[in-house]
Structure 1
Amino acid sequence: MGKRTGKQDHQQTKQSSAHVQILGLGLDTGDSLPSALLFFDQQRYLFNAGEGFQRYCVEHKIKLARMSGVLATRISTEAIGGLPGMFITMADSACGALLAHSDAMTLYGPKGVKTFMNALRTFMNLRDVPISVSEFPTSTSDPEQAASLPQPTIKNDLVSIHPVILTGQQEAEQASDAEGPAAKRQRIGEAASGLNGHENGAELGQRWKPADLEEGQVVTGATGSQAAVCYVCQLPRVRGKFLPQKAASLGVQRGPLFGKLQKGESVQSANGRMVHPHEVQEPDQAGPCVIIADCPTPGHVPQLLRSLPASLFSTAAGPGPPITSEPSAEAAGGPVNCIVHFSPAHVVSEAAYREWMDSFGSQTTHLLANTSAAGGAPVLTSSARIQARLNLLAPQYFSIPSANPVNTAEEKPLKATQAGRNLLRYMLVPVSRQGIESGEVPESFAIADAQAELASEQPDTVVMASQALSADASSACASPEVVSRADRELLEVCFLGTGAAIPSKYRNVTSLYLRLFKNGGMLLDCGEGTLSQLIRLLGPAGADSALRGLNCIWISHIHADHHAGLPRVLSRRAQLCGHAARPILVLGPKPLKRVLAAYAELEPLAFQWVDCVNTVPNSLEASGEQVVADSIQAAQESLGLSRLESVPVVHCRNAYGIVLESTAGWKFAFSGDTRPCPELAAAAKDATILVHEATFEDDLRDQAIAKRHSLTCEAVEIGRQAGAYRVILTHFSQRYPKIPVLGDSRAETTCIAFDLMTVNLADLPRLPNLTPALEMLFKDQEELGAEEPVPQMLS
C-alpha cells in the first residue's frame, strides 16, 4: 500500500507509481460487494466498502491515509455498509488525524448517497472527519444521443474518473415517463457538470431530519434503488521521451529552452525557427485506463452495452495526438488496460455481457472480482487460523468456519481473463511494469495445516484440552436441573463478536445469536460484520435459515459497535423473505429509532421498532400502547419465553442489559456494556448463563471507570452476586489481541468467549474446565494491541 514520507504535494504531477488493487472480494462470506483501490503516490480512491472492510484493513495492514474519495457502485449496506467502521477509525485520534493533511474526503454515489450519509450522522459524531457528499443525477448520459463518456466527477493531474449510471430497466422507464423533453435536457446538462449536488457533510446533516417512528410502528422500508455505477478511470497521456539531439539539430541551444520544450512550450531557435514540442520528442502514448464495472442484474446489461461500448475507446495501443501543454487526465484516450468486474457471476455468464467483455480486445485484462472468484477462501486468515486450532482442542464449542460455495458452472474462458484474488493488483504506472502483479496475494490457508502445526508445536495443550473435556464437571456448584436433563435442542449461545469498540484481526465487535431451535432465534446486539460472522458459523444456507427464523433483535445501546450491522441483517432478511416478509420486532434504545428510520429510506428492512424502556418493569417511560405490549408478548411466545426484561445499566444514556427466562426452565442474562451494576446482578439472580462484559484487566481500573466498562474481576464478582451457574466473559479490549488477562479473577464458574464459539446448554458443566488449556494455547501471546478508542458516536 505504500508508506507516506515527507509532506504531501497536491501539485505534484509526476506519478512514479499507480495501480488498481482488489480488496476483499466481498469477503469469503459473499455477503458484501467487492472493493478496489486506485492507488497513486499522493492520493487513493476506494471503490465500495462493504461490511468488514475495516477489519480487512487491520488484517492486511492497509492504511487509510491519503484517501481522497470513496466511490460507491451502489447505495446499499451490501456495498458501503463498512463505512461507519472506516469513519470511526479515521476519526479516532490514535490514528494520527488521517485526514488532517488533505482536503476533505468525498463520498460519491448515485441517488441515495446523501441519505446514507445522513443515516450515519444519526449515531456517529463525524465533526472531526471532513467528509463531503456528491450525489450523481439519475443518469449521466442521454439515450437519444450517440454514446459518449459523461463529464468526469473527479478531474485532477492524476486521473479523470467518469461515472456511468446504469438504472436498470424498471427505474429507467419510470424516470423517462416522469420527465418531459425539456426536463430531460436540463438533467443531462446537470450531468455534464459532473455532479448533481456536492455538499459539505456537516451542513447536509443540519438540514436533514429523518422520519419519526411511532412506538410499535411497522416499517417495510424503501423498495431500494436499482441504480448502479460503473467508473471509467483515465490517467493522463504519457509524454514522449525528449530527444535533445533532435532539438540541437533544429538550432535549439541547451539550457532553459530545452526545459520549455519538455514542458510542452514552443521555442524559437537561434536561427529564428519556431520549434514545437512534438518535433523533438518521441510520440506520446495513450494514458492507462481502468474500468470498474458493476452490472447487478441481467436487466442492467442492455444499458451497459449502450452506455459503455468498447467503441468509446481505442481498440489498439499506439501513439496518440501530440501533447501541446501539460498532460491532463481528461485529454487522454486509448485502449482500456484493465476492467475490474464487480458484476455477479450469474451476470458475467450472460452471453451479452461476455460479448461486451470480448469486444475490448486482447489488450484488455479482465479481473473477475465477484464473490464467486474468491472460492470461499478465508480472507481473515488470522481469525481462521485461531478457529482451526480451537476446533482441534474443543470441537463441540468451536466449529470449523463454513466457506461460501464455489461457483462450479462451466463457462467458456475469455481471452485475458483472470480470476480475482485478494490484494491482486494491476500496475498502471510505470508503463514498463504494466500488467498483473501478485506479490502481495496472501498464501492459501489450510485448516489441516493449522491444526497439524498446533499438534506438533503444543502437544501438551492438546492433551490438556482433551482431559479437561473428559473430566468431571466443575465442582463449584451442582448443575441446575434444566442443564442436567437438557437435550441439545433447547438453547445454544453463539458468539459472533467478542471484541470492544473496533474489530481486530482476531475478534469482531459485539453480537450474540441465541439459537432456540423450534422457537427460532434471537440476536442480542448486532455490530458491523454480524451477518458475515453468522455465515462463517452456520454456512450460507444455515445463516439464511437463521435469518428467516429470527423472532426478535435486541440492541443494548446506541454505540456503533453494537448496532452498525443491524441494517445489513434486516436488509438480507427482507431480501430472503421477499414481499411477504414478516416484520421482525427490534427492541432498542430510544436513539436507535432515528437510525432505523434513516436506513429505511434506502432499503427494504421489514421491522417493528419498540423502545427497550417498554421491557423495563414498572417503567414510568413505557408507552402504554396496546400494540407495543402485544408485539412484545407475541415475540416472547414465539421464542418460548416467560420473561423478556431489559435492565438499565451504567454506561451511556439509554443503555441496557437483558434477562430472558424460558418456559423450558433456563435463565439467560447479558450485561451489554456497563460498570458493575447491582440491579443487573439482582435481575440475573440464579441465571443459568450470565454473559458479562470484561473490557479491561484488573490493573486498568481508571480506564474502566472513565469509559464505563467493567474489569475482569468485577464481571466475575457480579456473576458471584447473581449466583449464576456459568459466567462467560466477553467484550474484550482490543489491547488483548487473542486472550484477555484473567490473573486472580479466575473462577470455577467462569469461561472466556471467543468469536464463533458455540455453547450448548448441555455442554455447560465442563465449560470452565477448558480455560487452562486456552490460556496455555495463547501463553506466548503477541504484544498488546491498540488501546480502545474513544467512541466517535452520539450518546
Structure 2
Amino acid sequence: MRWYLDIITTPGPETAQTAVMVHLPKERYLFNCPEGLQRVCYENRHRMFKLNHLFLTRVDWASMGGLPGMLLTIGDQSSAVVNLGAGPNFSHFMAAMRSFINRPGFPVKITEFDDAGPQPVEPYVGEQLTVVPVLSYPASADSVIREEPTESTTEDDSTSDRATKRCRLAGSNSIPPSSSDRLAPINEIVRMMFNRDPNAAGRRYYPSLLPTSPRPAALTYICTGPSVPGKFDVKAAEALGVPKGRLRGQLVRGETIVLPDGTVISPDQCVHPGRPGAVFIVCDCPSVAYIDSLIKQPGFKPYYRDDSTHVTSDRSVDCLIHNTGPGVLQDPRYQAWMHRFGAETHHLVSGADVNDDAIVFTGSAEEQLVLSNLSSNVFHGPFQAVKPGSSSTTWAALQPQLPAKSCLLRPETRFEFEPTPVCHTENQIQPYNYQMQDRVSSISELIQPFQSKVAELREAQLIQSPKRDAKAADIAPDAFENLVISPLGTGSSHPSKYRNVSANLVKVPTRGNMLLDVGENTIGQLYRLLGDSARFNPIFQMGFDDLFADLHLIYISHMHADHHLGLPSILNHWFQRSQTQQGQARNLTVIGPQALLTWLTEYNMVQPLGLSDPNLHLVCTEALFPSGLNANAETRATLLAPLRTSLGITDVTVCRAIHCASSYCVALEHEQGWKLSYSGDTRPNPAFVSLGRDSDLLIHESTLEDAMQAEAIAKRHCTTSETLQVAADMNARYTLLTHFSQRYPRAPVFLNGGPMGPSAAIAAANLKLAIDSPRVGVAFDLMSVRMGDFPQLATFIPALKMLHPNIEGEAVEDVHIDLGI
C-alpha cells in the first residue's frame, strides 16, 4: 500500500508556514493552511477535493490565514465532511467568521485540543491515520501550565488557576469564562454556519462571542499510519492443505480456520508477520522560548533511540518535519533533541531563517517578465532575494551539526513511507531563473514590430477631455501625475495561477500609501512588488518595510473573502513595524463595514493585531454617508481627521453598492484637487456615478464579458461594456479595469476574443473603444503605473492581444481540474 506526504509550502514572503499534505488510499490530511496555499495548489496541481482532515500547529494567521478561503472553495464543490483540529481558541476563531462564511449543508467538525482541563488531550483517530497532539508553550507560560496541584488545592481549582494565569501571561487582565460557558454559543454558531439544514426556513441568529484571551500554544502532531499486513505464504498453505478461496481469505484477515478433516490452522502458520504503521511527526517550534517545553514532552519518549529504557514503540520515526522559528535550529538543546530519534529518522527542516526566498508563483512571475518587454517601468519581474543556484549560508553552516539524514525543505519535496521510506527532492521548487524561460527569451523578437508603433501611439494619444481641462488646471502641478497605482490582485472570487484576489496599492506623493481592499496574501504580493529596498521598484521608490512606515489608509469595500482576508497579516506587520517607530507620525485608518470591525475585534482576542494602538483608527463605513446615516458632519470630520493629517485626504464619501449586504463604493478627495473613486464589487450604479462625478481616476470592476450579462446580473457584477459606460457617465479622466473572472486566466476576453468570448461584433466594438481611448487601462497583477503615464497603457493593447491569444482550455483546466471537479 503506497502512501506519502508532499510539502506544499515552506516559510517565505508568499507563504508564512510549512504546509504538509498526506496522501493515503482513503484519506487526505493537511497540516497548516497559510495564506497563498490555495493558489499554490492551483499552480502545482495539488487537488483538494479529497481533503477531509486539516490540522493547524498554531492558532495564528501565519498558520491558518488560508483556511477561510479554502473552506469556501471546498464547500462550493463538495458536501463531504471536513474535520478540523487545532489548539486553544480555534473554535472562537471559526465562529468569528460568521459574517462572511455561510455554507449550510457543508458538514464541518471541529476538535479543539486544549490541555487546560483535568483530562488528557485525546488523540484523533481517522480511518487510516492516528494523530496525537502535543502542546508546548513559551518558557514564561510553560512554568504555569505544567504547575502541579498542591496539597491545599483541589484538582479543579488548580486547573482553573492555570488557565487564569496562562491568560494573564498572554497579556490579559480579565479572567476568562469557563470552557463550557465559552464553547456553548460557539458550537451553536458553527452549527448554523456549516451544519444546519440548507432548506430550513427562518432567519439565521448568531449569538455574541464571550471574551477570550490569546493562548500561545504550539502543537506538534505525532502521526501513525496504517499497519502493513504480512504477505500470505502460498507454499506454506499448500503444504498444510489449505485450498484456494474462502479459507485462505479468512487466514489473511487474521481468522483461524478449520479444514474439512478437522485440522486447525492459525494465521501465523501461513501469513508472515505484518509491520506496524509508519510514524511521522509534524513539529512546530516558533522560537527558542518553546524549546524546553517541547523537548520535555513525554509523548516523544517511545521514539527515542539513545536510551533503550524509553523504547516502547515497535517502529522508529520515519520522518520528522521541523517548522522552526529564528535561532531554533542553531540552539544546542534543539540539535541534541533531533539526534535522540536515531540515525534512521529523516529530518525535513524548514524555517524563516534557513529557507531560500524562492518565488512560489512561477507562472505569475513568468507572465510579469513577459509583459516587462512592453515597458520595464510598468511591468517588471517580481523581487527575489537570492539568485538561482545559491544556497542558504545558514543551512550550509548548520548541516554538520544536524543528524545525517537532514534535508532542507522546499515546496514539492515528497516523502514516501511505503513500500520503502525515501525522500524525493528532485522536483523541489528552486529560486526562479529569469534567464532560462524559453517563452520569455523569444518575446523580445516577437513584439519588436510593435515597439515603434507603441512609441508613436504614446505621443499621439496623450489627449485630455475638454470637460476635464478646467478642473485639471485647479490641481496642483505634478500632484496627480505623480500618483502611483499598483493592482496587487486583479482576479475575482478565488486566486488563480496568474491573478491573485482583489487589492490595490496607491502611493500619494510625499504623503504616504493606501490600500483599497486587501484579498488573501496581499502581503506576499507587496513584497514581490517592492522588494527589500527603494532601489528595486523605480516607480514606487520604496521597499517593503518603507510601505508600512507610511501606510495611512486601508479601505475594505465589503465582507466577501476575496476582498479582506489579507487584512490580519497586514495589520500584524504594521503593528510589529510600528513598534520601531516610536515618536513618529504613523496614523493608520481602517475603513470597513461594521461586520469587519466586529470580526477584527473578536479575532484580536485570539491574536493581538494592535487594535489597542492609539495610532490605529477603526472607522465604520456606514458613518461616512453624506447624509450622516450614523454620524453628523462634526463626527465625520473627527473620524477623517487622521486621514487629512497623514495623507491629505479631505473627504471620504460612500454609497451602497449593488452587490451584497453592507457593500460600498467610495470616492476620495485630496487637498491638492484630485479625486479617486473605487467601485469594489457592484452592478452599474447610478448612485456611484453621481458620487464619483469628474473623478481623475476610476478603479472599477469588470468581472465578465458582454456575452455573460445574464450571469453578471445574477451575481451582481459588471460586464466590460457596462463598466466603460459607467466611466463615460461619470466623466472619469482615467479608468482602470480590474476584478476579472478567473475564467479568463491571463487577460480579459476583449483582449483575446475567441470562441469563449462574445460575438465578433461586440468584441470588436469593445476592443476599438479601449484602443481609441487613452483613458482606459487594463489591470495586471503587480503592474506599477504613474498617473502621468496612464495614457500609455492603451498603447500596449495591440501587443497584449498578440501575447494573450485565446486560451480557453487553460482557464477550464485551472478552475476545474485543480479543484478536482
| 1:155 counterpart letter in structure 2 | V
Partner of 1:537: 529
Where do 5+ consecutive residues of structure 2 fail to align? 164-178, 194-203, 534-542, 612-616, 751-762, 816-821
1:631 partnered with 2:639: yes
1:232 partnered with 2:197: no
1:259 partnered with 2:253: no
Partner of 2:622: 613
The alpha-carbon distance between structure 1 residues 652 and 488, as it changes in their structure 2 partners (threshold 3 A), is closer
Q: Does the 8 Å contact 2:92/2:209 carry over to 1?
A: no
Partner of 1:133: 110
Q: Does the 8 Å contact 1:500/1:732 carry over to 2?
A: yes
1:306 partnered with 2:296: yes
How much has 1:138 moved relative to structure 2? 2.9
How much has 1:585 moved relative to structure 2? 2.1
What are the superposed Cα offsets for residues 33-56 of structure 1, whole Å, 9 maximum, x if unpaired? 110011101101100111111111
What's the secondary structure of 1:448's corresponding residue?
A: coil
1:733 partnered with 2:722: no
Alpha-carbon separation, structure 2, partners of 1:126 and 1:227? 29
Alpha-carbon separation, structure 1, partners of 2:804 and 2:494? 21
The alpha-carbon distance between structure 1 residues 422 and 454, as it changes in their structure 2 partners (threshold 3 A), is same
Q: Does the 8 Å contact 1:131/1:200 carry over to 2?
A: no
Alpha-carbon separation, structure 1, partners of 2:346 and 2:646? 53
The alpha-carbon distance between structure 1 residues 682 and 372, as it changes in their structure 2 partners (threshold 3 A), is same
Alpha-carbon separation, structure 1, partners of 2:36 and 2:570? 13
Partner of 1:706: 714
Partner of 1:421: 410
What's the secondary structure of 2:328's corresponding residue?
A: helix
Partner of 2:201: none
Q: After TM superposition, list the pairs within 5 Å mapping 1:141-540 onto structure 2.
A: 153-176=123-146, 182-183=155-156, 202-203=190-191, 209-210=207-208, 224-246=214-236, 256-267=246-257, 276-307=266-297, 311-313=301-303, 315=305, 333-344=314-325, 346-371=327-352, 374-403=355-384, 407-409=392-394, 410-413=397-400, 414=402, 415-431=404-420, 434-438=421-425, 441=428, 445-450=432-437, 453-457=439-443, 459-465=445-451, 467-469=453-455, 471-472=458-459, 474-477=461-464, 480=472, 485-486=477-478, 490-539=482-531
Alpha-carbon separation, structure 2, partners of 1:462 and 1:342? 48
Q: Which residue among 685, 692, 695 is the counterpart of 2:700? A: 692
Where do 5+ consecutive residues of structure 1 fail to align? 1-15, 143-149, 213-220, 322-330, 790-795
| 2:18 counterpart letter in structure 1 | P
| 1:285 counterpart letter in structure 2 | R
Alpha-carbon separation, structure 1, partners of 2:475 and 2:276? 72
Q: Which residue among 763, 770, 775 is the counterpart of 2:789? A: 763
Q: Identity rate of aligned residues, in percent?
A: 29
Partner of 2:802: 776
Alpha-carbon separation, structure 2, partners of 1:75 and 1:466? 55
The alpha-carbon distance between structure 1 residues 37 and 284, as it changes in their structure 2 partners (threshold 3 A), is same
Partner of 2:3: 18
Alpha-carbon separation, structure 1, partners of 2:517 and 2:215? 28
| 1:587 counterpart letter in structure 2 | I
Q: Does the 8 Å contact 2:700/2:723 carry over to 1?
A: yes
How much has 1:700 moved relative to structure 2? 1.6
Alpha-carbon separation, structure 1, partners of 2:271 and 2:117? 37
The alpha-carbon distance between structure 1 residues 71 and 55, as it changes in their structure 2 partners (threshold 3 A), is same
Alpha-carbon separation, structure 2, partners of 1:38 and 1:381? 24
What's the secondary structure of 2:33's corresponding residue?
A: coil
Q: Does the 8 Å contact 1:152/1:161 carry over to 2?
A: no
What's the secondary structure of 1:126's corresponding residue?
A: coil
What's the secondary structure of 2:141's corresponding residue?
A: helix
1:595 partnered with 2:593: no
What's the secondary structure of 2:334's corresponding residue?
A: helix
Q: Which residue among 29, 38, 48 is the counterpart of 1:54? A: 38
The alpha-carbon distance between structure 1 residues 483 and 584, as it changes in their structure 2 partners (threshold 3 A), is closer
Partner of 2:63: 79
Alpha-carbon separation, structure 1, partners of 2:158 and 2:256? 41
Alpha-carbon separation, structure 2, partners of 1:595 and 1:246? 66
| 1:81 counterpart letter in structure 2 | G
The alpha-carbon distance between structure 1 residues 454 and 185, as it changes in their structure 2 partners (threshold 3 A), is same
Q: Which residue among 757, 777, 793 is the counterpart of 1:751? A: 777
What's the secondary structure of 2:601's corresponding residue?
A: helix
How much has 1:293 moved relative to structure 2? 0.7
| 1:49 counterpart letter in structure 2 | C
What's the secondary structure of 1:502's corresponding residue?
A: coil
| 1:227 counterpart letter in structure 2 | A
How much has 1:445 moved relative to structure 2? 3.6
The alpha-carbon distance between structure 1 residues 258 and 241, as it changes in their structure 2 partners (threshold 3 A), is same
More moved, 435-444 vs 497-506: 435-444
How much has 1:508 moved relative to structure 2? 0.9
Alpha-carbon separation, structure 1, partners of 2:477 and 2:451? 25
More moved, 366-375 vs 591-600: 366-375
1:112 partnered with 2:97: no
How much has 1:606 moved relative to structure 2? 2.5
| 2:783 counterpart letter in structure 1 | M
More moved, 222-231 vs 465-474: 465-474
Q: Does the 8 Å contact 2:42/2:814 carry over to 1?
A: no
Q: Does the 8 Å contact 1:387/1:398 carry over to 2?
A: yes
Partner of 1:218: none
Q: Does the 8 Å contact 2:587/2:646 carry over to 1?
A: no
What's the secondary structure of 1:728's corresponding residue?
A: strand
Alpha-carbon separation, structure 2, partners of 1:43 and 1:466? 58
Q: Does the 8 Å contact 1:74/1:227 carry over to 2?
A: yes
What's the secondary structure of 2:17's corresponding residue?
A: coil
Alpha-carbon separation, structure 1, partners of 2:209 and 2:643? 25
Alpha-carbon separation, structure 2, partners of 1:182 and 1:273? 57
How much has 1:729 moved relative to structure 2? 0.4
How much has 1:586 moved relative to structure 2? 1.6
Alpha-carbon separation, structure 1, partners of 2:92 and 2:436? 47
| 1:89 counterpart letter in structure 2 | T
What's the secondary structure of 2:651's corresponding residue?
A: strand
What are the superposed Cα offsets for residues 475-507 of structure 1, whole Å, 9 maximum, x if unpaired? 442684589942799421111111111111111
Alpha-carbon separation, structure 2, partners of 1:19 and 1:181? 46
1:124 partnered with 2:101: yes
| 1:617 counterpart letter in structure 2 | P
How much has 1:249 moved relative to structure 2? 5.6
How much has 1:737 moved relative to structure 2? 0.8
Alpha-carbon separation, structure 1, partners of 2:580 and 2:476? 43
Q: What value does the CA root-mean-square deviation take over the aligned residues?
A: 3.6
Q: Does the 8 Å contact 1:373/1:421 carry over to 2?
A: no
Alpha-carbon separation, structure 2, partners of 1:173 and 1:74? 20
